[in-house]
Amino acid sequence: MSFAFRRRFAGALCALLLAGVLTVPAGAISTSASAAVLMDVDSGRVLYSQNANAKMLIASTTKILTALVAIEHGNLSDVVTVRRDATLAEGSSMYLKEGDHLTLETLLYGLLLCSGNDAAVAIADAVGGSQAKFVAMMNQKAAELGMTRSSFANPNGLDAENHYSTALDMGKLARAAVENETLVRIASTRSITIGGRTMYNHNKLLSMMSGCIGLKTGYTQAAGRTLVSCAVRNGQRLVAVTLQDGNDWADHEQLYEYGFSNYPEKQAVTIGQTVRSVTIKDGFPSTIPLVAAEGFSWPVGNGETLTTDVKLTHALKAPLSAGAVVGQAVFKLSGAEVGRVNVLCGSDVLPQFDTPLDAFRRIPLR
């Protein structure tokens, strides 16, 4: 796990803990959904929520997790032999037959474009060894993502008593999914011919809205219409989740328009940017820049203020080496901390009465 991801995760955790303070009031906009969430991908900040923690059926949006687990544990080029149990799956299908030989990649297209319940079972058999083992892998991944109010009983999303999630948990899943380039590539494909099959994406939002990059539709009679999507504008990524929503296409467009218009991403600092200049007592030079080890940005709403403070790990005195970690830049939104990045010494610092020649002369000869 990269440092940058850990920093974003820490910021996201702060965002979720502060959701009651920082989340937009539900009355600002409304949807036809029984539950909904709009989240900023990079920060994890919740921009809109409606019954976000209610446990609900999620139908085929389950397949986002199926795809994520399969991609992480499988090989796209592996050839899968379809077993009989896959052909018995009810509901939407990519029309597999027992004994068919398809690559895992082809099955993933069938899973995410056609919403094939048969593809989900074939993937589970191939990657997990059995549906039961694969479902265990799904639940483990969900736990790793912090989906604390979710339970998965199958790889396709067919209704089951112990198969449910929440709008907030599905937002967490969507954030993880859009970090996976393979999953996004497949989920954003409108149509493809692969493995001798031509498939079309059921997600109409891809053609309805500029910047949409997937992710997955869902429907059962009990769950109603479910939709998890992601959209990009000016480099900012948002994910939207609606559960039991008869007007989901329009609601997602409305959510994105609201989020992008009212919570644009603000760049607090870029990598290498001077965060502060400090004076080094008895140092040469006497003043040096402290620079950010990485960039930091956050969605900022009207009337909110994103501030930066620097906390040093210790009092700075010569000698110092350029690139040494000397503290952290702490970012606060209207007084509440939302993230931090390391700050580095921007240049070498010698004792004040040392010239570069003096320093060179003190280097021991070998």
Residues labelled as active-site residues = 60, 63, 115
Coil/strand/helix, residue 275: strand
And the tokens for 354?
Answer: 């040392």
What is the DSSP secondary structure assignment for residue 56, as one 8-state letter?
Answer: B
Phi, psi torsion values for 253, nearest 5 degrees: -60, -40
Q: Which of 71, 8, 75 lies closest to 45, judged by CA?
A: 8
Coil/strand/helix, residue 360: helix
Ranges of beta strands (E only) in the chain are 35-40, 46-50, 79-81, 101-103, 191-194, 197-200, 212-220, 224-233, 236-243, 265-269, 274-279, 283-284, 287-292, 296-299, 306-312, 325-333, 336-345, 350-351
d(Cα 62, Cα 68) in Å, to the nearest integer?
Answer: 10
And the tokens for 288?
Answer: 């040096």
And the tokens for 8?
Answer: 């974003």
